[in-house]
């Protein structure tokens, strides 16, 4: 039914009309003539009728008030990220593990909620805990009402709190065991069926700079991977298994060299997670002769990237080996194939796998031609600025009169030896193909670690204590666990969304709470972009489009 206007002899009349169907045709039937419009409006009868009907059509009235711009209250919050990652937080065991560790503590606020809020903040925007306090007001995170900045700080300090002396067995020389280690170990134990043989581990590191001193022991100056040598920094390491699942994180003072951390981390892995056989896969920046010797003394297997240019044995003997290469085709993600040529070389009891990638060789040669062409142009204009450019200097020599520089053909020929070449050193009982595949897994893990580094670089860090700094960074590790879990669920259903699209579309999923005259309603925005497929992959039901809420007291 509805009200219809009809103009008769210059006057406007109002009729209460209903639509009916007669003889297969739709027509309108007048139920009541309400009278002339001017008289009905002046008498207030129409308002009384609408008010009476409104008791049975509250939803429409509230929506009409929204359209008119005069609801009593209107609140909008983002629900996509809390719903999606809240489910993953529970199903990965993060919620249960943290609550269990908190059971004997007497905190007067929900520490687990503070940790989850910080982890969600890392996933969505990252940044400091000060920013997190303001950010959470826009998100419908359950049970965080009244959560204050000092409580976020206390939650971070709890995660990084040192364990008692009797629980320090297995600590590295660079850092004590802390509460976050217990979280990692219990999460690992819950997933033990998925990690029945953690035989291959990958380790990569990044540096994280501070705006202040960086705590009592963590903040030190060292080689800065984020190009801020003027700031105090710490080193963050992440251990990942062969499937790309995060296992644990490690934190060291900023002056700790990569070559010093591999052995302590491996020893600690074996003691923390009861791992027997370990094959370490690492890039050349992680190894030294002493490291390799120590791995062999421990009876551990390894697949390590060798330094082709600086290792004399590799440069003069291994690469000079005249035996032919064996062609191999390696399947890549997406069904494509990579053509490699591989051969095994044994020198002085050491086993090397030499690999040549023809596609990379062509790229290296093209890059060198471009550099040489630019170098030739620069030489014509003057050579004073060339010596400071490492890309140019490697191809130069002084002229016979020692007064200028010229391109050295011998250096060009020597550099061409390395086009598309990489060399692996291993003691593992693996075929050359298996060795290459293990090392290729490291490359895939490094791609994942680029994501890790973005999550780990949670600047600025305002914390002053080592404990709070550890907790702050560990929340980024927990964020990595959730992201990896989401990636796995998407992969199983053939979904490969861009991370930027995930964040943007999740933020677009919002709820609007409306109140009018004591009645309350919640409206949900449409699930656009990748939200629908993401929720389906995570087995989460979307809230209804419109929900009537209970009358507020």
Query: Is there a domain that residue 203 lies in?
Result: no
Cite the DSSP H helix spans in 148-201: 149-159, 179-190
- For 10-68, how does the pLDDT look when each residue is reduced to its tens digit (9 = 90+)? 889 888 888 888 887 888 888 888 888 888 888 887 777 766 665 555 556 555 655 65
Instruction: Report the distance separating Cα 76 and Cα 112, nearest Å.
Output: 25
- The answer on 132 and 100 residing in a single domain is yes
Cα torsion at 131, 460, 113, 484 (round to 10°)?
Answer: 120
The predicted pLDDT at position 551 comes to 43
**CA 272: distance to chain centroid?**
25
The average pLDDT across 476-496 equals 91
Same-domain check for residues 124 and 175: yes
* pTM for the structure as a whole: 0.73
Does the residue 107 lie in any domain? Answer: yes
Sequence-separated contacts (24+) of 407-412 with Cβ below 8 Å:
407/372, 407/375, 407/376, 407/379, 412/368, 412/372
Domain identity same for 179 and 82: yes
Domain tally, the chain: 2
Domain co-membership, 84 together with 123: yes
Residue 195: pLDDT band (50, 70, 90) is very low
At 54-108, the pLDDT tens digits run: 555 555 655 565 565 656 666 789 999 999 999 999 999 999 999 999 998 889 8
Whether the upstream peptide bond of residue 349 has omega within 30° of 0, thus cis, is no
Evaluate whether residue 509 is within a structural domain: yes
Residue 106 lies inside a defined structural domain of this protein:
yes
Angle made by CA atoms 180, 292, 424, in degrees to the nearest 5:
100
Q: Are residues 9 and 114 in the same domain?
A: no
In this prediction, residue 81 carries a pLDDT of 94
- Quickly state the pLDDT bin for 151 (edges 50, 70, 90): very high
Q: What is the pLDDT of residue 98?
A: 96
Whether 269 maps to a domain, the answer reads: no
Is 150 a member of any domain? yes
pLDDT score of 241: 77
Pairing relationship of beta strands 421-426 and 396-398 according to DSSP bridges: unpaired
> Does 305 map to a domain?
no
Domain of 31, in residue numbers: 2-56
Same domain, yes or no, for 94 and 135? yes
Q: What is the DSSP letter of 316?
A: I
Residue 159 domain-assigned (yes or no): yes
List, for residues 279-335, the tens digit of each pLDDT value.
777 777 667 778 788 888 887 788 888 888 878 888 889 888 888 888 887 766 555
Helix, strand or coil, per DSSP, at residue 262: helix
Alpha carbon distance 16, 29 (integer Å): 9
- The answer for residues whose C-beta is within 8 angstroms of residue 213's C-beta and 6 or more apart is 219, 232, 464
Residues 47 and 78 in one domain: no
């Amino acid at each position: 039914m509805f009200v219809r206007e009809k103009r008769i002899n210059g006057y406007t009349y109002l009729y209460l009309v209903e639509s009916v169907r007669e003889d297969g045709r739709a027509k309108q039937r007048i139920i009541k003539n309400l009278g002339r419009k001017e008289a009905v409006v002046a008498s207030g009868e129409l308002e009384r009728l609408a008010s009476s009907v409104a008791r049975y059509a509250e939803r429409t009235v509230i929506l009409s008030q929204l359209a008119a711009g005069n609801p009593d209250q209107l609140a909008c919050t983002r629900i996509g990220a809390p719903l999606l990652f809240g489910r993953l937080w529970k199903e990965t065991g993060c919620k249960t593990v943290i609550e269990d560790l908190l059971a004997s503590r007497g905190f007067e606020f929900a520490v687990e909620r503070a940790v989850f809020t910080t982890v969600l903040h890392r996933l969505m925007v990252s940044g400091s805990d000060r920013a997190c306090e303001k950010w959470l007001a826009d998100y419908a995170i359950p049970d965080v009402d009244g959560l204050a900045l000092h409580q976020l700080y206390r939650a971070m300090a709890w995660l990084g709190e040192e364990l008692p002396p009797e629980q320090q067995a297995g600590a590295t020389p660079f850092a004590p065991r802390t509460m976050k280690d217990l979280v990692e170990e219990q999460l690992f134990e819950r997933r033990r069926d998925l990690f029945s043989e953690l035989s291959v581990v990958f380790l990569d590191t990044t540096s994280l700079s501070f705006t202040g001193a960086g705590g009592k022991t963590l903040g030190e100056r060292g080689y800065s991977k984020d190009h801020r040598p003027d700031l105090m920094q710490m080193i963050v390491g992440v251990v990942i298994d062969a499937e790309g699942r995060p296992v644990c994180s490690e934190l060291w003072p900023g002056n700790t060299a990569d070559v010093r951390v591999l052995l302590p981390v491996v020893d600690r892995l074996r003691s923390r997670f009861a791992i027997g056989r370990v094959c370490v896969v690492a890039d050349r920046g992680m190894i030294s002769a002493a490291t390799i010797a120590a791995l062999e003394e421990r009876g551990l297997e390894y697949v390590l990237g060798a330094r082709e240019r600086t290792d004399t044995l590799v440069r003069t003997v291994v690469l000079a080996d005249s035996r032919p290469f064996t062609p191999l085709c390696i399947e890549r993600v997406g069904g494509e194939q990579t053509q490699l040529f591989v051969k095994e070389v044994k020198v002085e009891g050491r086993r090397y796998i030499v690999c040549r990638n023809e596609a990379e060789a062509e790229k290296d040669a093209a890059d060198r031609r471009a550099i040489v062409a630019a170098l030739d142009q620069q030489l014509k204009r003057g050579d004073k600025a060339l010596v400071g450019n490492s890309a140019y200097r490697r191809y130069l020599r002084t002229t016979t009169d020692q007064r200028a520089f010229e391109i050295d053909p011998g250096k060009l020929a020597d550099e061409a030896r390395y086009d598309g070449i990489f060399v692996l050193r291993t003691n593992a009982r693996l075929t050359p193909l298996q060795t290459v595949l293990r090392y290729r897994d490291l490359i895939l893990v490094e791609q994942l670690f680029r994501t890790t580094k973005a999550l780990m670089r949670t600047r600025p860090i305002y914390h002053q204590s080592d404990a709070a700094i550890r907790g702050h960074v560990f929340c980024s590790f927990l964020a990595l666990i959730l992201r990896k879990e989401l990636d796995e669920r998407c992969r199983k259903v053939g979904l490969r969304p861009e991370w930027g699209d995930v964040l943007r579309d999740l933020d677009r999923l919002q709820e609007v709470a409306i109140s009018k005259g004591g009645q309350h309603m919640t409206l949900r925005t449409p699930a656009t972009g990748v939200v629908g497929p993401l929720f389906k992959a995570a087995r989460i039901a979307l809230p209804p489009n419109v929900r009537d809420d209970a009358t507020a007291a």
